[in-house]
Structure formats: structure tokens, C-alpha cells
């Protein structure tokens, strides 16, 4: 479904050059829950940004269903981020001026014409409310992000990522800022979404405890994939356990 | 986990979506208190511009009204002291058998104008006048006062038809046929003055009444009774001086401006000027019958109106005049045509034909230039507001780095992000302009109360009425001017928000998301 071939990416700051991706190859299959692990600076987040068209590789290609997406015009890449990909970040990245409900609705606000929004606003609102109920935040719809706990903010971010019914969820250390229990809840939520709705999920994490929830684990070292294996041990249904990969 | 409904059909036309831009603009306005500094800056700039424009326009309009008020629409006048002269076809003056230049009477001039039907149709009234410099002399507190003045000989009826005369008379305000006649009170004042002069005159020593020795060939003594019967009563001629000539203004011991009439109706004045034909002094005595109060200090302090026929008699000008005042039926439509045609009719080197605007051109231009310069200077206030918008927006954009990254990760385009901040600038500008307009109009409406309050507070007159001769600060709110200020202020707000907005749009989403 999502294929990265021979990706190179170098960050330059003044005279300093840091090569982050070094000829990386990866294929993400439709409907799988893939986790990417690796040390800091191994290029996990950069890979996620490239896959989601937030950034462009120096060389190499990224394809979605066989069609290159890394060289698309800006407007088409914007459209992909709006409808095809859903992002979840470590620091939740909710807009602080807006209520939880408005944050969840933001992709629809961005993706809709004024007239289109006006015509279908009640449907969008209904879907956002349903998503918030599903992630257990129906009682927090009108609260601002600063009034929510870390776990609640991340659940709101998940609801936002799901609003446009994306085909791929890109989660950048979704549990990195949460305690173990709350992180476990978020991972279970993602796994449920993956299983129930068939949404492909690519999750970057440091936390080896949660990768057991995923179908496949990829390890990155110095900008290349060094290990690619299926996760054999089941992720606990209620209490997370420490499982080494 | 319960299933969630499918999202509604999301057919995208990406560049026409404004919902998130509007939502974020409004939310930023509600939550970023720094923005209120921008709003207040714009508000104060707009309010100042509206007030200053209204006051300047008020002064300008009032001045124009006054300037036009006393001047007729079109003036034909001559440089010659003896009035209009006749010329032959070659443009040479014609002389009579005494070697004097032949005069062109007002009737002859009007007859010549009437020959041009198209021209005469556009003329509503004509009035001949004589305008000449003079010295006005009168007694005040036992001392002889002399003032340089401009004496204008008029026919009050026709001058009123031309306009700009009777509406400024103090006693005969708006009269259709004002006169120089004295009121009974003025006549009584005249008699009182005469008695006072006789009373004050020092008694001349009387020589002892010795019997006269008749001499041969003596002319017999006239019979005093016959002398009195044959002598006509002296004719009393009225004069209408400018209000400031007849009233002195000064500050009393409390610092208040007080006014004292130095020429009351019935008081006599002597006007000394020069003859029409020869350069020799001539004079006449007149009695004050009314005052002219135009509220234009220059006019009120120097103009003196006398009957035309009397000035002609004093100056030996027979039936000639030095100017023709003309009123047009439709000034704006016909001014060019009429002045051009009149110039063709009187193409003489000493004759000038001008519309009132041409006559007052330098003054009107000066007012406009002053207003333009003031507007430019004051618009810098809005410019300063613009720079505060630039500074504050730059801060806000820096604060919003992460939000910009979030929006881009959710599919917002660079242009969309740019429009959020441009829209924010527009919104700030619009709110500032709306508040500034309300404030400016309120201040303009209550400017005289505010001036009075500030004068009472500071003890200094902010608007000295003795300087301007206006009872109140004149204001004139021109909707077009207010609109121009509003559009200009909003444009500046948008313009100064462009740079921070462009920076926001150019921000790389990955860098923005990593920003701490």
C-alpha cells in the first residue's frame, strides 16, 4: 500500500549536515499495524513525516497504491494529509484556542468549502461527537485542551485524526508523553481502530512495551531498516505488560 | 467498540474554504489580548483623523461660504481709479473733447452683455460698485481715530439681489431692500452728538458790540431769516461699517473678552479717499446706519459700505463704477462659459473678469494644501499603528509556530495559513476602524463641549473666539472623507500583517511541529 524506496534525507543547518535517512526501504501493507522502533536520531520521525508528505525526501520515492506521492504538487499533498493520512503526535498538538469538539472538527473545516461546510455541518458535527464518544470524551466536548489531562488530549487527537476517515494513521510516539497505563489505553484504542475499521497504522515509538500490540515491528538504525519482524506475543487486553521485542 | 458513521462527502475545492480561517481569526481576536493594542492604535489613529478632517473641513467650508458669501459669483473690475473706460476697436481708450478718457457706465456695460442672449440668460442679477481704499475717521472718547479701510459704494437693492450683502447686516438681516436710511434712534443719537459737540465747544470770546460805521459802497447786510429759508437742510448719508471696525474687543481685568461699540448708529464718520479723475483727497461725512458682520475678520475690520451715488459724487465719477458684481443662475454649470464670454466682451488691459474662486484662488489653494499636509502627517499615526500590528503579529506568529505546523499537518495550504493572519489583520483593522469611527464621530459631535471642558480644566482658551470670530468650532463630517480614512486604515492593517503572514505561510511544518 505505502512503499518507500531508497529514501535519503539530510538536514542542513548552516555548515552542519546530518544525514538522517540513508537509503531506507520499507513497505507498509494495507490494514497492518506497524511499529517503528529505534534509538533517538535513527530517523523514525523523519520517515513518518516523509510517508505523510509533511516533508520531501532528498532522493528516493514514496508511493501510495503504486502512485508516487513524494513529488505531487503542494495542493495534492495538502489534500492527502487532509483526507488520506491522519496524524497523531507525541505532544497531542491540539489548538489551544479551540474546544475539544472544534479541534476534532478542524480537518473538516480545512477540507471543506464554506458552502460545503454549511450544507453538511450537522453531519460533520454528528461524526465528531460520535468519535469523541468512542474515545470516551463525550463529556469533554466543550473543554479547552488546557482543561484536559494528557491521556484525554491524546484521545482527542486520535478522534481528530479519524474524522476524515483516513486510510493511514501516522502516530509519532503517541504514548511518549503519557504514563504507562494511559499509554496502554491509547495503544489499545489504536489497535481497536486498526482491527475494527481496517485503518492502516504506522506508529513510531521508543516504548518497547507497547509494540506487542502491533502486527509488525521495524527497527531502524542510522537511517536504514535493520530488523523487520512480526510481533508474536499478544498485547494484554487490560493490563499492559513489559514485553521485549 | 461501536461503529462510527462515515464522514459526509467531502468534495474539495481547497482554495475557497474559509471556515477554519474565519474561526481561527475570531478565536485569536478573542484570546490574544496583545491584539487589543493593535485595535486601540488603529482606533486612536482613525478617530484623530476623523476629528481633524471634520474640523478642517468645517473651517474650510465655513471660510468658503464666507468668502463666496460676500463676493458675487463673477466680478468684472477695472484697475482704473476713475472706473471703466471706453475703448475703440483697436483697444485704445477714447477721449472726450476735454481730453478726458470717456467713461463706460454700468448701463452701457449691461446693454453690451444683453446683446449676447446666451450669456444674459445665465445671469440672474448685476450690481455696479465702486471699491477704493480710504481712511475712516471718527471720534472715540474725545480722540480722533483713523483707520485704513476699503470703501465700497453700492446700490443696496441690486447688491442684495446679487447676494452676500443683506444676510450679513446686523439690523436689516435678510431684508430684500435694505437701505442706508437712519432709524429714529440713530437720528436721535445724531442730534445728541451734535448737542454734545456744541456743549463741549469752547465759548469764543465776544468782542464788545460797538456800533458799525457804515462805509460808502458797502454790501448791505443779509437778512438772516431769508438766509435760513433758502438754505436746504444738509442731506444725511448713511454708512455701514464692518462690525469689528465699529466694535473694539479687548480683555478685561478677569481675562474675559469684552466688546464695546465705538460707533453707534447715528454716530458720524468721515471718509477720506482720492478723487476719481485726479489724484487729490476728497472726503465726505456719513452717519452709521447699520453694521456688516460677515464673521470674516478681514472683511469686518476693513470694509465700509456707502451709497454708490454719494461715493460717485464725492469722487467726481458721475455715473461710472469700478466693478460689476454678477450673480449666475447656476454657478457651477455656467462659470466657465460666462467668464470666457465676458472676457471676450471686455478684452481691455485694465479689466479683469474672474469667478469668485479665481479671485480667492491662493487662499482656497492654501487651505487645501494645509489640509492635505495635515492629512499626510496624521496618517502617520495610522502608520505607527501599522508598525505596532507588524510587531505584535510577528510575536503572535512566533507564538503560533506549533499551531501553524498542526494546521499544515491537517492539510492546510500555505496560502490558507497566510490568509489566517491576513484575515486576522483585516479583522483587527476593521474592529479598530469601527471603534475609531464611532469615537471620532462622537468627539466631533461634542467638540465644543470638550473644548469648553478642556479650557475650564487648563485655564487656557483652546479656541480663542476673538481670533476666529466663530461662536463655535465649525465641523463638517464628509462621508467620503470618513470612508477614505476607514479604507486607508484597514489597508494599512492588512498591509502590515502581510509580512508576518507570509513568514507563517513559509514555515516548514516539520520545523513548526518540533518548535518548543
Question: Domain of A53: which CATH number?
Answer: 3.40.50.300
Query: Residues of A with CB below 8 A from B13's CB?
Result: 113, 116
Out of A106, A124, A134, closest to residue B4 by CB: A134
Q: Do residues A65 and A172 share a domain? A: yes
Average pLDDT over residues B191-210: 72
Residues A59 and A172 in one domain: yes
Identify all chain B residues contacting A126, using CB atoms and an 8 Å cutoff: 5
- Are B23 and A98 a contacting pair at CB < 8 A? yes
Question: pLDDT at position A85, please?
Answer: 93
Partner-chain contact B409 A126, CB within 8 Å: no
What is the number of domains present in chain A? 2
| Predicted confidence (pLDDT) per residue in B9-32, tens digit | 544 444 456 788 888 888 888 877
Interchain CB contact of B363 with A (< 8 Å): no
Using CA atoms, how far apart are residues B315 and B306, in angstroms rounded to an integer?
A: 13
pLDDT at B435 over 90: yes
Residue B167 phi/psi, 5-degree rounding, is -70, -15
Q: Does residue B513 sit at the A interface (CB-CB below 8 Å)? A: yes
Could you give the CA distance from residue A103 to residue A94 in angstroms, rounded to a whole number?
6
Other CB atoms within 10 Å distance of the CB of residue B195: 10
| B18–chain A nearest CA distance, Å | 6
Tens of pLDDT along B260-292?
A: 888 999 999 999 999 887 778 899 999 999 999
Q: Chain B contacts of A194, Cβ < 8 Å?
A: none
Domain shared by A16 and A74, yes or no: yes
Residue B307 has pLDDT above 50, yes or no: yes
Q: Look at A93 and B407 and tell me if their CB atoms are within 8 Å.
A: no
Where does the pLDDT of residue A230 fall: very low under 50, low under 70, confident under 90, or very high at 90 and above? low
CA distance B342 to B326: 11
Query: What band does B1 get if pLDDT is binned at 50, 70 and 90?
Result: very low
Is the pLDDT score of B462 beyond 50? Answer: yes
ipTM summary value: 0.88
Q: Tell me, yes or no, whether A172 and A76 share the same domain.
A: yes
Whether the Cβ atoms of residue B29 and residue B35 lie closer than 8 Å to each other = yes
Q: Is A18 on the interface with B (CB under 8 A)?
A: no
Asked if the structure places residue A194 within a domain, the reply is: no
- Joined together, the cell numbers standing for residue B55 give 474640523
A112 close to B (CB below 8 A): yes
Nearest-by-Cβ selection for A109 from B11, B13, B19: B19
One domain, residues A73 and A106: no
Same domain, A205 and A151: no
Q: Which residues of A touch B4 (CB under 8 A)?
A: 127, 130-131, 134, 162, 197
**Residues 42-61 (A) with a CB less than 8 A from some CB of B:** 49, 52, 54-55
Is-contact B140 B246, C-beta < 8 A? no
pLDDT of residue B467: 63
A63 and A172 in a common domain? yes
- Contact call for residues A204 and A36 (beta carbons, < 8 A): yes
CB pairs under 8 A between A and B: 129
User: A78 is in which domain, residue-wise?
Assistant: 1-82+168-176+200-245
Q: Is residue A183 part of a domain?
A: no
For residue A123, what is the nearest residue in chain B, using CA coordinates? Answer: B8
Q: Are residues A38 and A78 in the same domain?
A: yes
A41, part of any domain? yes
Domain annotation covers residue A195: no
**Helix residue ranges, H only, A31-162:** 44-51, 74-83, 100-111, 114-134, 150-162
Q: Which residues of B touch A144 (CB under 8 A)?
A: none
In a domain, A37, yes or no: yes
Yes or no: say if A103 and B32 are a contact pair by the CB < 8 Å rule.
no
**Is A184 part of any domain?**
no
Entry pTM: 0.68
A190 in a domain, yes or no?
no
Chain CA centroid to CA A85, Å: 8
Query: pLDDT tier at B204 (50, 70, 90 boundaries)?
Result: low
A172/A57 same-domain check: yes
For chain B, the first-to-last Cα distance in angstroms comes to: 36
Confidence of residue A236 (pLDDT cuts 50, 70, 90): low
Q: What angle do CA B489, B495, B497 make, to 5 degrees?
A: 105
DSSP string, B65-129: HHHHHHS-SEEEEES-TT--B-B-TTSPBPB-TTSPBPB--HHHHHHHHHTSHHHHHTEEEEEEE
**E-strand stretches of B267-313:** 268-274, 281-288, 303-307
Is A148 within the bounds of a domain? yes
Q: Name the packing angle between helices A100-111 and B19-31 (round to 10°).
A: 140
Per-residue pLDDT of A73-128, as tens digits, reads 988 999 999 999 999 988 888 999 899 999 999 999 998 888 888 888 899 899 99
Amino acid at each position: 500500500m505505502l512503499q518507500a524506496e531508497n529514501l535519503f534525507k539530510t538536514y542542513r543547518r548552516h555548515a552542519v549536515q546530518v544525514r538522517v535517512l540513508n537509503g531506507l526501504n520499507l513497505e507498509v501493507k494495507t490494514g497492518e499495524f506497524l511499529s517503528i522502533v529505534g534509538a533517538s536520531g535513527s530517523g523514525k520521525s523523519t520517515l513518518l513525516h516523509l510517508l505523510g508528505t509533511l516533508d520531501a525526501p532528498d532522493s528516493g520515492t514514496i508511493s501510495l497504491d503504486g502512485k508516487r506521492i513524494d513529488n505531487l504538487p503542494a495542493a495534492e499533498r495538502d489534500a492527502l494529509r487532509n483526507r488520506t493520512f491522519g496524524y497523531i503526535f507525541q505532544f497531542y498538538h491540539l489548538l489551544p484556542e479551540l474546544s475539544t469538539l472544534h479541534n476534532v472538527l478542524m480537518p473538516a473545516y480545512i477540507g471543506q468549502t464554506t458552502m460545503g461546510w454549511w450544507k453538511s455541518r450537522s453531519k460533520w458535527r454528528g461524526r465528531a461527537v460520535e468519535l469523541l464518544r468512542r474515545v470516551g470524551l463525550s463529556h469533554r466536548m466543550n473543554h479547552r485542551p488546557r482543561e484536559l489531562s494528557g491521556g484525554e488530549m491524546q484521545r482527542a487527537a486520535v478522534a481528530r485524526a479519524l474524522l476524515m476517515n483516513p486510510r493511514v494513521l501516522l502516530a509519532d510516539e503517541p504514548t511518549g508523553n503519557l504514563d504507562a497505563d494511559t499509554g496502554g489505553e491509547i495503544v489499545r484504542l489504536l489497535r481497536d481502530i486498526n482491527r475494527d475499521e481496517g485503518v492502516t497504522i504506522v506508529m513510531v515509538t521508543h516504548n518497547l512495551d507497547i509494540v506487542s500490540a502491533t502486527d509488525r515491528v521495524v527497527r531502524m538504525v542510522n537511517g536504514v531498516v535493520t530488523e523487520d519482524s512480526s510481533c508474536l506475543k499478544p498485547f494484554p487486553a487490560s493490563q499492559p505488560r513489559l514485553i521485549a521485542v | 467498540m461501536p461503529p462510527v458513521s462515515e464522514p459526509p462527502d467531502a468534495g474539495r475545492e481547497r482554495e475557497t474554504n474559509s471556515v477554519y480561517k474565519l474561526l481561527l481569526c475570531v478565536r485569536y481576536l478573542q484570546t490574544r489580548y496583545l491584539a487589543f493594542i493593535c485595535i486601540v492604535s488603529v482606533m486612536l489613529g482613525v478617530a484623530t483623523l476623523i476629528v481633524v478632517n471634520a474640523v478642517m473641513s468645517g473651517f474650510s467650508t465655513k471660510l468658503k461660504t464666507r468668502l463666496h458669501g460676500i463676493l458675487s459669483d463673477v466680478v468684472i473690475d477695472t484697475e482704473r481709479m476713475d472706473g471703466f473706460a471706453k475703448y475703440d476697436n483697436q483697444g485704445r481708450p477714447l477721449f472726450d473733447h476735454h481730453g478726458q478718457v470717456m467713461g463706460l457706465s454700468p448701463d452701457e456695460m449691461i446693454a453690451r452683455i444683453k446683446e449676447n442672449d446666451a450669456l444674459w440668460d445665465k445671469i440672474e442679477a448685476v450690481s455696479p460698485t465702486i471699491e477704493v481704499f480710504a481712511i475712516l475717521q471718527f471720534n472715540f472718547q474725545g480722540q480722533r481715530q483713523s483707520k485704513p479701510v476699503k470703501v465700497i459704494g453700492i446700490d443696496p437693492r441690486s447688491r442684495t439681489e446679487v447676494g452676500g450683502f443683506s444676510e450679513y447686516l446686523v439690523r436689516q438681516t435678510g431684508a430684500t431692500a435694505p437701505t442706508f436710511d437712519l432709524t429714529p434712534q440713530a437720528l436721535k443719537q445724531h442730534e445728541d452728538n451734535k448737542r454734545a459737540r456744541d456743549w463741549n465747544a469752547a465759548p469764543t470770546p465776544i468782542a464788545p458790540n460797538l456800533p458799525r460805521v457804515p462805509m460808502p459802497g458797502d454790501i448791505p447786510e443779509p437778512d438772516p431769516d431769508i438766509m435760513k429759508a433758502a438754505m436746504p437742510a444738509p442731506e444725511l448719508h448713511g454708512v455701514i461699517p464692518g462690525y469689528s471696525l465699529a466694535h473694539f474687543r479687548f480683555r478685561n481685568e478677569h481675562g474675559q473678552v469684552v466688546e464695546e461699540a465705538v460707533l453707534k448708529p447715528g454716530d458720524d464718520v468721515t471718509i477720506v479717499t482720492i478723487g476719481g479723475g485726479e489724484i487729490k483727497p476728497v472726503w465726505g461725512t456719513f452717519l452709521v446706519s447699520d453694521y456688516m458682520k460677515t464673521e470674516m475678520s478681514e472683511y469686518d475690520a476693513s470694509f465700509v459700505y456707502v451709497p454708490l451715488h454719494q461715493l460717485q459724487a464725492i469722487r467726481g465719477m458721475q455715473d461710472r463704477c469700478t466693478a460689476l458684481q454678477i450673480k449666475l443662475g447656476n454657478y457651477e454649470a455656467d462659470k466657465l462659459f460666462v467668464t470666457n464670454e465676458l472676457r471676450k466682451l471686455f478684452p481691455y488691459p485694465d479689466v479683469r473678469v474672474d469667478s469668485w474662486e479665481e479671485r480667492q484662488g491662493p487662499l482656497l489653494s492654501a487651505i487645501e494644501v494645509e489640509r492635505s499636509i495635515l492629512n499626510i502627517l496624521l496618517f502617520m499615526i495610522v502608520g505607527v499603528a501599522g508598525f505596532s500590528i507588524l510587531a505584535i503579529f510577528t510575536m503572535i506568529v512566533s507564538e503560533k509556530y506549533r499551531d501553524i505546523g498542526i494546521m499544515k499537518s491537517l492539510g492546510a495550504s500555505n496560502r490558507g495559513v497566510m490568509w489566517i493572519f491576513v484575515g486576522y489583520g483585516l479583522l483587527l483593522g476593521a474592529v479598530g476602524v469601527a471603534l475609531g469611527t464611532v469615537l471620532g464621530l462622537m468627539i466631533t459631535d461634542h467638540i465644543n463641549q470638550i473644548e469648553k471642558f478642556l479650557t475650564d480644566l487648563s485655564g487656557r482658551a483652546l479656541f480663542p473666539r476673538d481670533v476666529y470670530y466663530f461662536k463655535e468650532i465649525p465641523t463638517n463630517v464628509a462621508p467620503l472623507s470618513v470612508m477614505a480614512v476607514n479604507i486607508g486604515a484597514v489597508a494599512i492593517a492588512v498591509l502590515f500583517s502581510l509580512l508576518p503572514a507570509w513568514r507563517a505561510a513559509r514555515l516548514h511544518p516539520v520545523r513548526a511541529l518540533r518548535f518548543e
